[in-house]
Amino acid sequence: RSDLPIYTLDEVMQHATKESRIWVTYGQGVYDITDFIPQHPGGSEKISMAAGSSVEPFWMLYGVHKNPNVLAILEKYRIGNLSAEEALEATENMEDPYAKDPRRHPALKPSSKKPFNAEPPPSLLSENFITPVDLFYVRNHLPVPDISEKDYRLEINFQGKDFSLSLQDLKTKFEKVTVTAAIMCAGNRRGEMTQIKPVKGLNWGHAVIGNATWSGARLRDVLMHFGVKDDPGFEHVQFEGLDADVANVPYGASIPFEKAFDPKGDVILAYEMNDGPLPRDHGYPVRAVVPGVVGARNVKWLGRIIVTNVESNSHWQQNDYKGFNPSVDWDTVDFSKSPAIQELPVISAICSPDAGSVVKLDSNNSLNIKGYAWSGGGRRIVRVDVTADSGKTWYSADITAQENKKEPHHWGWSLWSLDVPIPKGVKEVELWAKAVDSSYNTQPESFANIWNLRGVLSNAYHRVQVKVTA
Ligand code: HEM
Ligand code: MTE
C-alpha cells in the first residue's frame, strides 16, 4: 500500500468528528472509518473512542479484534500511511491491560486469551463432586482488576444513601455461611448449537460449568444490616464489578429483589471458594453467588450493590444474555423484547468417554459413561436417561454424587455414571444423555428448534460418538 499518501499523526488527530470524517490508525495504516461506524458490531459509541488516534489500545482490551476478518474489514477503509517513525510513536508507552492477569493452570483450554476465557477438559469434571479452583472454567469480559484487601470497599446504595463495608467488616459483622452451588455460563455447549448455524459468541464446549462451595455473608443479612426491609419499591438488586472498560463502565448485572432477599434464596457475598480465599479469576476479594441463576449474574470483584426498582442497564443485562426465537437474526433482533436470563433450564453432558475416542468394552460387553446434570432455580436432578441406540432403549444412570438438599433449594450439580450394554459386533455407537429435574422438565431433543443468535441456553440432548473395541 506504498502508493497511498503519507499522513502525520497531527493530521490524523484533526479527523476526530463526523464533519471532518473520522480517521484512525493501526500499525502504519491510516483509515477513514466514518462509513463503518454505524455498522460496527460493538456499537458506534465504542468505536468512536478511537477517533483521531490508534485503535490498538482498544483492541488490546477487546481481543475479538485479533482476527483476520476484522483486519480485512479495516483494510477496505485504508486511505494512507504514517511514516515508519510516527507509526512507532503512535503505539509507544502502550501498556497491555491484561499484563496483570493471574497465571492460569495450563489444563484450562482458552477460547479467548484477552480477555481470558477457558474451560477444563470435560473428562476431569465428572471425577469430582467439587471442581478444584484451578480447573474451574473462567469467563472474563475484561482484564482482572488488581485489588488490595487494604483498599477494598463494598458499597451499598439504596434510597439515595451510600454505605460501605471493608472485607474485614464482611467477615466479622455477619454470620459466615457455606453454600454448594454450580455456576454455569449461559453459553455452555454453544459449540454444538453453532453446528446448526453460526452464532455470535465464544466457541464453548461442554465444560463451562463447575460446582464449588462458596462461603461468605448472606446478601439478605448485609441488606438488613443497613435497614433494607421487604418493600414493594425494591424490585431489583444490581451488582457492579470493579472491572471496567475503556470508558470506565463496570461489568454489571441485576437479579430480582425477591431472590436477593429470600432467606431461602441463599444468595451470598462470597469471599471463599472451596474453603480457600476466592482466587483472582473468580472474583477476589468478593463475588455475588446467586445459586440457581445464570453465571452472568454472579458478579465477580463486587464493588457496588444497588437496591432499586430498575434492572441494571448494563450491556450484559440488556443486550446480551437473552434468548430468542430461532428465526430472529441480527437484522431483526430487538433485545428489549426478551427478558434477561435468570434461572437456567435443565442440562446434562457426557464427560467420559470423549467424543471420537476408541473405547474398550468390559467383560459384560458394556461401556462406562459418566457425566454431570444440573438445573437452575434450585430444581434437583431426579433422573438421567441414556441411550446407545438412538432412543430405542433408554437406561437410567446411577446418580453417584448429589447433595441432600430439597428442591427448590438444590443448588449443586449431580454426577452420574452408567455401564451401558452394547450389542455384540457394534463398532461405533452414539451415546445420548438427557436429564430430568424435580419439575419434570427435560432437555429438548435437538438444537435446530432452540437455535438462537447468541448461542445461549444450549441444552439439547448431549450426543457423543465413540468407536468400540472388544
Ligand atoms: C466487536 C470491528 C474498533 C469495541 C467487533 C466486531 C468486529 C469489529 C468485526 C465483531 C467481532 C466478533 O464478534 O467476532 C472493528 C473494526 C474497528 C473496531 C474494523 C476499527 C476501527 C473498535 C474500537 C473499540 C471496539 C476502537 C473500543 C473502543 C468492540 C466491542 C465489540 C467489538 C466492545 C463487541 C465485543 C463482544 O461482543 O464481545 N468490532 N472494531 N471496536 N468491538 Fe470493534
Ligand atoms: N463478573 C464480573 N465482574 N466480570 C465478568 O466478566 N463474568 C460473568 C460472571 N461474573 C463476569 C462476572 C459470567 S458471564 C460468568 S459465566 C461468570 O462470572 C463466570 O464465573 P467464573 O469465571 O468464576 O467461572
pTM of the prediction? 0.89
Probe ligand 1: pick from 30, 49, 61, 64, max atoms within 8 Å of CB? 64
The ligand 1 atom nearest the CA atom of 64: 11
Query: Using CB atoms within 10 A of its CB, is residue 175 exposed (0-12), middle (13-18) or buried (19+)?
Result: exposed
CA atoms of 330 and 343, how far apart (whole Å): 25
Give the number of the ligand closest to the Cα of residue 53.
1
Helix or strand or coil: residue 111? strand
Distance 236 CA to ligand 2 centre (A): 19
Peptide bond into 408 cis (omega under 30): yes
Residues with catalytic roles:
40, 65, 139, 185, 321
pLDDT tens sequence across 255-301:
999 999 999 999 999 999 999 999 999 999 999 999 999 999 999 99
Outline where 236-351 has alpha helix (H). Answer: 257-261, 315-318
Q: What is the pLDDT of residues 25-34, one digit of tens each?
A: 999 999 999 9
Rounded to 5 degrees, φ, ψ at 179 are: -125, 135
pLDDT at site 11: 95
Q: Kindly report, residue by residue over 175-230, the tens digit of the pLDDT.
A: 999 999 999 999 999 999 999 999 989 999 999 999 999 999 999 999 999 999 99
Helix then strand then coil, in percent of the chain rounded to 5, is 15, 30, 50
- Distance (Å, whole) CA 237 – CA 436: 31
Q: How far apart are CA 278 and CA 346, in angstroms?
A: 27
Cis amide leading into 279 (omega within 30): no
Give me the amino acid identity at 122.
Answer: P
For 363-427, strand residue ranges (E) read: 366-374, 381-387, 395-396, 398-401, 414-421
Looking at residue 281, the DSSP 8-state letter turns out to be: G
How many CA atoms, within 13 angstroms, populate the side-chain half-sphere of residue 231?
A: 14
How far is residue 352's CA from residue 185's CA, in Å, rounded to a whole number? 21
The CB of 282 under 6 Å from ligand 2? The reply is: yes
Give the position of cell 464493588.
303
71 φ, ψ to 5°?
Answer: -65, -35
